[in-house]
Amino acid sequence: MTASAQDERDAEERSGALLELASRWAEAVAGTSYVSLPRPEVEQLLSGLLRRLVAAARLRGVQTAAAVGAEVGAALVDAHFTSPPTLSRTLAVLLDGPPGGGSAEEDGAGEAGARQRWHRVVAAVAAGFSAALQERALREQEEILRAAAEAREQAEQALHVSEERFRAVFEGAPVGIGIGDVDGRILEVNPALEAMLGHPAEEFRRREVREFMHPADLEQVWRLYGELVRGERDHFRLEKQFLRSTGESVWTDLTVSLLRDEHGRPRYQLAVIHDVTSLRRLRRQLEHDATHDSLTGLANRKVFLDHLDDVFRRAAPGARAGLCFLDLDGFKAVNDTLGHEVGDRLLVAVARRLDAVVASSGHEVARLGGDEFVVLVSDCSGPDQLIALAEDVLAAVAEPVPLGSVQVAVTASIGIVERPIAGIDPAELLRAADITLYWAKADGKSRWALFEDERNARDLTRYSLSSALPGAISRGEFVLHYQPLRRLSDGALHGIEALVRWQHPNLGLLGPESFVGLAEQSGLIVPLGRHVLQVACRQAFAWFGACPGGPFVSVNLATQQLRDEGLVDDVRVALRDSGLHPRQLQLEITESAVIGTDLLTGSTLDALSEMGVRLAIDDFGTGWSNLTYLRRLPLDELKLDGSFLRGLRSGTDVDPVDSQLVASVVSLAHLLELTVTAEGIETRAQVDHLVAIGCDAGQGTHLGAPADRDETGRLLGLEPRPGGSRRAPRPTAPTALDEAPTRSG
């Protein structure tokens, strides 16, 4: 499907969703207000308003979006949708609408940001509806005033007619209307006001206006009324509370005007009262939803970040702040196995426990999203306070949560960061807490971790190296050093091991411990290994030529390389392009890479062996050390880990256990027709002992340290000729091996 066709299809789906929502809206408000339009025209009207709301929700300007929402609220009133049930049902439908069916598009803030913008637009509809209804009431009030004036002017001619007209407006008004004298005694009330406050008309006439007002509002209202009587204002309008007959408060939009005689003297006061209790409750609910997490009731991310900013702004010199950043361990498994409903109930339970732990201390706790919570200690005394708090939180969370018939046990990990406020910003504090939470997860979960500058610096370095890896490969920053492998019987060159190094432009020469793990994590170990293989083969051919009986080059293979389907082809291409004979290439693999070998790895090893490439087990003794299993593999060499030689460093103080263990391994390896190379040889005594027990070859600083290509060629007398033809090694300076005894037999 083309992009344009997909866009058209998406547009049709969004249009259909809006039409369906408009139909539900029309159904919801049917019968709540007297509207003369037929149902199809009502749906058409509401559909147009809905499209305006959806477009407004996409706008970034808050004031513009709010203005559109207010216009839609006013349009409902203009269409004679004027009853409170109409508004409440309208809001119920709209709040359940976009963003979902292709309405308000998400931006960088995600679903939560789109939902928040939609709520603001819907809230603006309520405000616009209320304002338009109030303006309508004011117009009706003006009509009443005009009717009253006309009645006075035409009292002699048409007193009866004018009184009936006034009474019709007064009795039929949907808002409360009260008429009193200038002293505050109530003279008349309409049915709407009787219903609003729950008193009969006779009760109103026996009392004064102030008796129905909330005590908190009396002083302000009467001050404004005094200004009205003195002619300092034409009217006043306030949102104030009145008391119902039950003692409950009702919030109203109150407008008070004076009726004057022909000489301009105040005669009566006219109060128009609109019940806005439901609208006020809705407004407060929307305000609460904008600042609190809808599931747990805790402060949401926005409020937490605002509070954190405020703490930093108001901080006194020397003040410290701390965060405990909490994430549940294995929460996804709860959702996947028990369902999202159970997961939500678990989050609510965890939130209550967190709130209970920190409630007495006055710390701020918030849900940042998902299963992430944070506790802010704004005036921290030091790390010990945060650690004690984290342990209390972990203990509270670890208690099994009863959810119906299920007991759900869950643990949490917490990242702790505590810092002086001076010199950092809120984002840095939160980032440090997030990093430390990752440490707690990586260290085994169900624990806390404390932020450490040194560990953070190491992580930043690792991240920097990881980011630079792809470019380093393409720029050729990886170079090879070479270490000799010698025959222990006569010291002759057995082979050389190619060891990769990173010539970093800023950090200098880095060993494999700095980057191999990163390459494995990022998946770059395969192209890096391919590069090492190609360079090593070319250099070996340049030194030795194509000579299957001569020294070989040994290259380490990572586990991912061994399991890569293209490894055999990579080896074949490296040999072909370099001209090196397959027997002059040895590939070193670890025990863990071949124990429990799968079909792909097994077939790869067989293919390499059939090609003629030598295969060696590297660092033998650090893994399973299972010679019985290794006999099934097409191996040529076993490289004994240097840890086996620690007890053989001295010629006078030899550990008999180490000696016997090494002798046994060598004997068993020879039984399997494997050559044994001992790694980590550091002393002449180790050489003598290994020769005595029949070890074939060795590698270590005593026999030659790793060096770059030029230094290795100089030390070993290996100088490449043009075209890469083999040249015999020239004699080198005497080494410790020159006096090594030859093996008997």
Q: What is the pLDDT of residues 111-170, one digit of tens each?
A: 777 777 788 887 877 888 888 878 887 777 777 767 666 656 654 454 454 556 666 667
For residue 139, give the 3-state DSSP assignment: helix
- pLDDT of 734 > 70? The answer is no
Segments of 196-329 assigned E as strands: 235-243, 249-260, 266-275, 320-328
Q: What CATH code is assigned to 292-451? A: 3.30.70.270
Instruction: Say if CB 136 and CB 127 are below 8 A apart.
Output: no
Q: What's the pLDDT at 576?
A: 96
Same fold, 175-281 and 465-719+727-733: no
Q: What's the pLDDT at 744?
A: 28
pLDDT tens across 510-557, in order? 888 888 888 888 888 899 999 999 999 999 999 999 988 889 999 999
pLDDT band at 730 (very low <50, low <70, confident <90, very high): very low
Lookup: tokens for 401:
């949560």
- pLDDT of 625 > 70? The answer is no
Question: What is the mean pLDDT of the segment spanning 226-255?
Answer: 80
Distance CA 168, CA 434 (A): 68
Highest mean pLDDT pick, 38-47, 429-438, 627-636:
429-438
Q: What's the pLDDT at 154?
A: 58
- pLDDT of 616 > 90? The answer is yes
294: enclosing H helix or E strand: none
Distance CA 326, CA 340 (A): 20
Of 608 and 506, which is predicted with more confidence? 608
Of 637 and 602, which is predicted with more confidence? 637
**What is the chain's mean pLDDT, rounded?**
81
Distance CA 241, CA 513 (A): 73
Q: Is the dihedral of CA 64, 65, 68, 69 positive or negative?
A: negative
Distance CA 315, CA 310 (A): 8
The torsion angles phi and psi of 181, rounded to 5 degrees, stand at -85, 180
Of 630 and 472, which is predicted with more confidence? 472
- Sorted by sequence, the CB contacts under 8 Å of residue 527 that are 6+ apart come out as 473
Q: What's the pLDDT at 251?
A: 85
pLDDT band at 738 (very low <50, low <70, confident <90, very high): very low
Q: What's the pLDDT at 190?
A: 85
Cα distances (angstroms) measured from residue 474 to each of 23, 131, 527, 534, 569? 60, 66, 10, 14, 21
Q: How many residues does the chain have?
A: 745
Q: What's the pLDDT at 739?
A: 34
Q: What's the pLDDT at 742?
A: 30
Of 676 and 184, which is predicted with more confidence? 676
Of 507 and 600, which is predicted with more confidence? 507
Distance CA 21, CA 12 (A): 14
- pLDDT of 363 > 80? The answer is yes
DSSP 395-438: HHHHSPEEETTEEE---EEEEEEEEESTT--HHHHHHHHHHHHH
pLDDT band at 733 (very low <50, low <70, confident <90, very high): very low
Instruction: Say if CB 694 and CB 670 are below 8 A apart.
Output: yes
pLDDT tens across 165-219, in order? 666 667 767 788 888 887 778 888 888 888 888 888 788 887 777 777 777 777 7
Q: What's the pLDDT at 712?
A: 92
Lookup: tokens for 624:
């399973």
SS3 annotation, 106-119 = CCCCHHHHHHHHHH
Is the link from the previous residue into 99 a cis peptide, with omega within 30 of 0?
yes
Which amino acid belongs to residue 388?
A
Across the strands, what pairs with 259?
A: 268
Lookup: tokens for 689:
């002992």
Its CATH architecture, for the domain 175-281, is 2-Layer Sandwich (3.30)
Q: What phi-psi label fits residue 285: left (phi over 0), alpha (psi between -120 and 50 degrees) or beta? A: alpha
Q: How far is CA 157 from the centre of its chain?
A: 79
Cα distances (angstroms) measured from residue 646 to each of 297, 531, 566? 62, 34, 39
The torsion defined by the Cα of 525, 528, 530 and 532, in degrees rounded to 10, comes to -130
Query: What is the pairing mode between strands 585-590 and 614-620?
Result: parallel
- pLDDT of 18 > 70? The answer is yes
Short-list 488, 481, 479, CA closest to 679: 488
Domain boundaries, the chain: 13-136, 175-281, 292-451, 465-719+727-733
Please state, as a whole number, how many other Cβ atoms lie within 10 Å of the Cβ of residue 322. Answer: 26
Distance CA 322, CA 257 (A): 57
- Sorted by sequence, the CB contacts under 8 Å of residue 310 that are 6+ apart come out as none
The torsion angles phi and psi of 205, rounded to 5 degrees, stand at -70, -20
Q: What's the pLDDT at 711?
A: 92
The torsion angles phi and psi of 59, rounded to 5 degrees, stand at -75, 140
Question: What is the mean pLDDT of the segment spanning 689-710?
Answer: 94
Compute the chain's Rg from CA coordinates. Answer: 43
Question: What is the mean pLDDT of the segment spanning 249-264?
Answer: 81
* CATH of region 465-719+727-733, choose from 1.10.10.10, 3.90.79.10, 3.20.20.450, 3.40.50.720: 3.20.20.450
Instruction: Say if CB 98 and CB 118 are below 8 A apart.
Output: yes
Question: What is the mean pLDDT of the segment spanning 286-297?
Answer: 78
Segments of 451-593 assigned E as strands: 478-487, 493-504, 508-510, 552-556, 585-590
Across the strands, what pairs with 242?
A: 213, 250
pLDDT band at 568 (very low <50, low <70, confident <90, very high): very high
